[in-house]
Amino acid sequence: MVQCAVGRGDISLAFLRGKLRGNRNGRARSVLDMVIPRADSLLEVLANTAFHRAGLRVRRHVEIPGVGEVDFLLEGILVVETDGESHLQPRQVKKDRVRNNATMVAGFLFLRFGYDFVVHHPERMMAQVLAVLEQWRRGAFRP
């Protein structure tokens, strides 16, 4: 509900934070940290929640030179894109392939998840995210 209200501009995060002062409201304030002020889709909201619950460092709507804006940057190294139906259009598929390659050339790891994974199989999505991050931590992607 908070995501929807903030996204529509009905209420601001600053207003809500101001109403949730004190020690007893810590859990409610932590929910506000998961709100995406400019969520482009429900997929972003669901993925964001999964990433936060896993304890990952999450940045949203990050601009990467030569790539453009990406949905998520996890742990400062892994770009994750969440794709709805529009990404199945031939023109968009071509554009996404160019962006995928540019992301790797820019020095980032990359994963892309569609509706089915994010909505119906978030555990599979998270398993892949965590596996890539673990491999990176062990040096698998370094020369």
- Beta strand 58-64 pairing with 68-74: antiparallel
pTM, two decimals, is: 0.80
Q: Which two tokens stand for residue 143?
A: 């020369």
Instruction: Say if CB 52 and CB 43 are below 8 A apart.
Output: no
The model's pLDDT over 40-61, given as tens digits with 9 standing for 90+, comes to 778 898 999 999 999 999 999 9
pLDDT value for 88: 66
Confidence of residue 119 (pLDDT cuts 50, 70, 90): very high
Long-range contact list for 120-129, CB < 8 A, 24+ apart? Answer: 122/46, 122/47, 122/50, 125/47, 125/50, 126/50, 126/51, 126/54, 129/51, 129/54, 129/56, 129/74, 129/78, 129/80
Query: CA-to-CA distance for 119 and 42, rounded, in angstroms?
Result: 9
- Selection from 73, 67, 70, 68 nearest residue 51 by Cα: 73
Confidence of residue 98 (pLDDT cuts 50, 70, 90): very high
**Residue type (1 letter), 72:** F
Averaged confidence pLDDT in the chain: 89
Residue with tokens 């999505």, as numbered in its chain: 125
Mean pLDDT of 79-89: 78
Query: CA-to-CA distance for 76 and 57, rounded, in angstroms?
Result: 8
Q: Is the pLDDT of residue 86 over 70?
A: no
Look up the CATH architecture of domain 37-137: 3-Layer(aba) Sandwich (3.40)
Q: Domain spans of the chain? A: 1-35, 37-137
Q: What stretch of H or E contains 52?
A: helix 42-53
Q: Is the pLDDT of residue 80 over 90?
A: yes
Q: Is the dihedral of CA 116, 56, 34, 87 positive or negative?
A: negative
Mean pLDDT of 67-79: 96
